[in-house]
Amino acid sequence: MWQQHVLVIEDDAALRRAVVDALRFQGYGTWEADDGERGLEMAVKVECDLILLDLVLPGLDGLDILRQVRASRPALPVIILTARGEESERVRCALPRRTVAGGRRGRVLFSPAGASGRSPGR
C-alpha cells in the first residue's frame, strides 16, 4: 500500500506531536525534526511528499531551510507554520511566486493529499 509522507519541522514538542498525531490519524506517514539542523538534514535526505516547516527554530532558521530545500528539491511542497504575523514575513515566505493554471501568477495552495495527486492508502 502506497502512503504519502510528511516531514514536520517544529521545535514546540506539544505542537509537533499534535500535528504528527493528526497526520497519522488521516493515514499519512510522518518524519519529525525538532531543530533547524536536523530538519535540513532530513529535508534533503528523506523521501517525503510535503514539508510542514516552522520559521523560528533553534539552530538554523526556517527561511534558511526553505532556501536550501528550494535549491535541492524545487518541486517539493512546503507549508510554513509560524506564529509570525507581520506582513513582511508572509511576503518573504511567498516569494518567489510560481505560475499557476491559466498563466496567472500567485501562491500555490494545496492540501497534503493533493501534493502528488494521490490519496493516502490508495
Helices (H), 1-122: 13-25, 36-45, 62-72, 87-94
What mean pLDDT is reported for the chain? Answer: 77
Whole-angstrom distance, CA of residue 122 vs CA of residue 30? 17
Return the C-alpha torsion angle 114, 63, 65, 59, nearest 10. -130
Q: Of 31-35, 82-86, 98-102, 118-122, where does mean pLDDT reach its minimum?
A: 98-102
pLDDT the model gives residue 5: 96
pLDDT tens for 51-64 read: 999 999 999 999 99
Residues in the chain, overall count: 122
pLDDT the model gives residue 96: 47
Q: What percent of the chain has pLDDT over 70?
A: 67
Domains of the chain, with CATH numbers? 5-114 (3.40.50.2300)
Whole-angstrom distance, CA of residue 12 vs CA of residue 55? 12
pLDDT the model gives residue 84: 59
pLDDT the model gives residue 118: 43
pTM score, whole prediction:
0.71
pLDDT tens for 38-97 read: 999 999 999 999 999 999 999 999 999 999 999 999 999 999 887 755 555 544 554 444
Average pLDDT over residues 106-114: 40
Cis peptide before 112 (omega within 30 of 0): no
